[in-house]
Amino acid sequence: MSRNFSKDALNAINKKTGKNISEGAVKKLASTVKPGTLQSEAQLRQLIKQVSAMAKVPVSEDTIKEIISAVKKTGSSSSMESLMKMMLKK
């Protein structure tokens, strides 16, 4: 992921949520994500809740299920950008 994408994505998230999420907070959370995280429903659910809490944006159980379903369909090759877009459109 390019550095510009990271800044652009963070700016988009901050603008969409009206919150100010720091780059450090995102990097800290991202460092906990391992390849198996997206393959374990429990770990993926935990990650979604952590992102939701960090952004102070509630994510409904239906949205969590949609995200999990989308990740299962696309496998672990799913991009973080597409997952963020899915969370933010709800």
Structure-block tokens of residue 7 = 């800044």
pLDDT tens digits, one per residue of 14-38:
787 777 888 888 888 888 888 788 7
In this prediction, residue 65 carries a pLDDT of 92
CB 55 within 8 A of CB 17: yes
DSSP state of 20: -
Structure-block tokens of residue 70 = 């989308």
pLDDT tens digits, one per residue of 47-79:
889 888 888 888 999 999 988 888 888 765 555
Domain count, the chain: 1
Range of the domain at 19: 3-88
In this prediction, residue 61 carries a pLDDT of 94
Q: What is the DSSP string of 11-46?
A: HHHHHHHT----HHHHHHHHTT--GGGGG-HHHHHH
In this prediction, residue 2 carries a pLDDT of 46
Whether residue 83 is predicted with pLDDT greater than 60 in this model: the reply is yes
Residue linked to tokens 């901050």: 14
